[in-house]
Amino acid sequence: MSTTASTVAPARGSGVAVDHATPALGPLGLFTVLLGAALPLIDFFIVNVALPSIDHDLAAGPAVLELVVAGYGLSYAVLLVLGGRLGDLFGRRRLFLVGMAAFGLTSLACGLAPDAWTLVGARVAQGAAAALMLPQVLATIHSSTTGARRAKALSLYGATGGLAMVAGQILGGILVAADLAGSGWRAIFLVNVPVAVAGLLLAVRTVPETRSQGPAPVDVPGTLLLGLALLTLLAPLTEGRASGWPLWTWISLGIFPFAAAAFWRVELRADRRGRTPLVPPSLLGLVSLRRGLALVVPFSIGFGGFMFVIAVALQQGLGLGAVISGLALVPMAVAFFGASLAGPRLVRRWGTRIVTVGGLLQALGIGLLALAAWRSWPDLSAWSLLPGMAVAGLGQGLQQPVLFRVVLSDVPAERAGVGSGVLVTAQQSALALGVATLGSLFLSLAASGSMGTALTVTLLVQLAAVVLTVLLSLRLPRVVS
């Protein structure tokens, strides 16, 4: 089957699509869209190890540094569902190309930023570009693969996502330490430019065009209200501690529940009137999607918080260099990748119970890391972290790819963009929430006592989230398509 087969787009205004051929995503096309999935996730985490260098070079200060991280995550999370809807409407390859080009340009702007506030603005734009690109990846996989090929592609997507999040900090450490041509921290952004160019050239030739057979117009009220809800929750939580919890943070948190309730009422009303809301409540009626998301959220909160906290603890607490801090995560990355590749075969035999096993292994790994921090600080080393990192990575690799499959297993192909947008929005919002909540907890404890104690307590809080995912995993459908 040719990788260039494509759907015939519906005539404008007809509301009916004529689909004469199922587009096929070949190996090189899969590699290309996975590259597009890796870039946004790498850049979510790559700045963690570069923050001290950015602060030194641009005199940013704690509050602005938080915005360098949070600005990207906020625009990314707020616009993801809209990105999925636009892909359904205008074509997923087209939006993938637009997003990839914009990501390359905004990465260049980040790398050339002359001051801290310009960097913040470029990071917000970079997050928006990522939100156009990433939803098209899952939607393209979901609509252009079937059966075993889809299961393998989703497993590779999960492996890519987990590796990208860990590799971001490893790569960031190496690039900052290498100081390529005197670029220092700027290299972590500039390296995206040639990668984006390569991705564009590959995508034009290898990624099939797909779109919804019945594309719906953009749900403007739903988009605005979802953006308001996410913004009023994530902005104060990410900026509050660094800014000293000014009045605006409490007002924002007070607005959040009303914005969330208004969003849900607008979506319900649109659904009842036969329109297509941004997040259709009927889609959330799918048991597999609803129960899968219930695990994705606490899993991602823990993962996002852990990656931020471990970077700060190793660099600022132990004084380790960026390279050593990044390399401490290698055992987690290797174990995650190996478990992800084994996932499809294990799921065929054991079903979603493999998620429960993965949760138990992750709990053991986090427990080992907490024990090492409690017993060895301030003499904690990358070697003493190795067993916990490896076991935790193994457990995470058994969970994340399978959860993605569960969430999307019953989503119809014509709603792949919406389903993918909901999934990645939940994931990215939870990652940002993890950085905000666990990061704030860790930094607050560290400011008033030992950073070793702060790391131990934060890991134990994450352990509680892992226990929750283990319990929730027992409610997953046993078999996943």
Per-residue pLDDT of the chain (481 residues; tens, 9 = 90+): 333 333 333 333 333 333 445 567 888 989 999 999 889 888 877 887 788 788 888 887 776 777 787 788 778 877 887 887 788 788 889 999 999 999 999 999 999 999 989 999 999 999 999 989 988 888 888 778 777 787 778 778 877 877 787 777 778 778 887 777 778 889 999 999 999 999 999 999 888 888 777 666 777 888 889 889 988 988 888 777 777 888 999 999 999 999 999 999 998 888 888 777 877 787 777 888 888 888 888 988 888 888 888 888 887 788 777 777 777 888 888 888 888 878 777 877 888 888 899 999 999 999 999 999 888 888 888 788 889 999 999 998 888 888 888 887 777 766 766 777 778 778 878 887 888 888 888 888 887 778 888 899 999 999 998 998 899 888 887 776 6
Look at the block and give the residue holding tokens 């040719």.
Answer: 2
What is the identity of the amino acid at 347?
A: V
Q: Are 343 and 155 in contact (CB under 8 A)?
A: yes
Q: How far apart are CA 442 and CA 40, in angstroms?
A: 25
Q: How far apart are CA 201 and CA 28, in angstroms?
A: 12
Q: How many CA atoms lie within 13 A of 460 on its CB side?
A: 10
**Residues 6+ positions from 214 with CB-CB distance below 8 Å:** 10, 15, 16, 17, 414
In angstroms, the Cα distances linking 260 to 76, 228, 254 are: 18, 8, 11
Q: How far apart are CA 129 and CA 135, in angstroms?
A: 11
Output the pTM of the full model.
Answer: 0.79
Look at the block and give the residue holding tokens 């098209």.
Answer: 136
42 closest CA partner among 191, 164, 172, 192: 164
